[in-house]
Amino acid sequence: MQSIPRYGRGSARTLVTHRDLGLEIIFLDKGALNWHVEGRIERVTAGSVYFSLPWQEHGSVDEFEPGHHWHWVQLGLAGRIDRPRTRFGFHPDFGLGARPAAEISALLTRSGRHCYRATPRMAWLIPTLVEELDRKEGPDSAYASALARLAILELVRCIRTSDHPRQGDAASTRRVEAFINRLRAHSEAEWTLEQMAAACGLGRSRFAALCRQSTGDSPLTLVNRLRVDRAKEMLKTADATITDIAYACGFGSSQYFARVFRRFTGMEASAYRQKHRKHQPGGQASWRPPRR
């Protein structure tokens, strides 16, 4: 279908920075990913919908993000797509007139985010549209166009709904997100679920649910992810041994560090260091283990 130039499902080892042929809508039904649009990074978690416009460069931040699965479609726009526009129309097949198209384009171009919690309808629409497009006997073009129209309208609802969270939920979410930002700088500490929940003034179950909603990870998985992120930077710049880096990042043993690092990156720490080795000017390392 000319109105839907590309679509698909599955996963990718990495999503290189690229541009698309239309409005891309992605529904992530499994896993969590760090993606960027024009350099702005957002955490995309399971149950989220993510959009980008054809002139926006976007892609994956990390090299390897295992355990994810998505469905995606690119929906054709009217007119030029090679330069930014604040107002645009949609392919005639979608049946969206000039007035609703103007309202939708204003919302999408002014949105400060690209990732939103998917409504139940969106979680059904994108996989169903991909399934229809992928039929062996060919898609029913009228049915596919109707689904695409609904997907555009439901994306608007996802954005508008997320802008009006319940007051109690919003306050708790802000506390959790503020704590996660602090956690990035102190991930090497010995964190328990109880300590993290208490730092946010929440019960364990409530904190765990909001942490997963914000990051796609359970609290303890998030701690390990942040520790691995720190280890990756140290492997690039420090002359310390891998064992010293493991302890500096909060891992209790080099063996456990090796398992966790491999799970998050798909590589051994030594191979990662060899691939990304970067020295400071003059060959000086940026970090060394303390003398014992």
Output 89 or 286, whichever has higher pLDDT. Answer: 89
Residue 64 burial by Cβ neighbours in a 10 Å radius (0-12, 13-18, 19+): middle
How many residues belong to the chain? 292
Burial per residue of 94-126, b for 16 or more beta-carbon CB atoms within 10 angstroms, e otherwise: bebeeebbeebbeebeeeeebbbbbbeebbebb
176-188 pLDDT, tens per residue?
988 988 998 899 9
Domains contained in the chain, CATH given: 6-162 (2.60.120.280), 168-283 (1.10.10.60)
248-262 pLDDT, tens per residue?
999 999 999 999 998
How far apart CA 33 and CA 14 sit, in angstroms, is 10
Look up the pTM and report it. Answer: 0.70
15-51 pLDDT, tens per residue?
889 999 999 999 998 877 888 998 888 888 888 999 9
Structure tokens at 172: 């708790």
**Which pLDDT score is estimated for 91?**
96
**Which pLDDT score is estimated for 7?**
97
Do 125 and 156 form a contact (C-beta atoms < 8 A)?
A: no
Single out the residue of 72, 55, 49, 51 nearest to residue 21, CA to CA: 55
**Which pLDDT score is estimated for 111?**
85
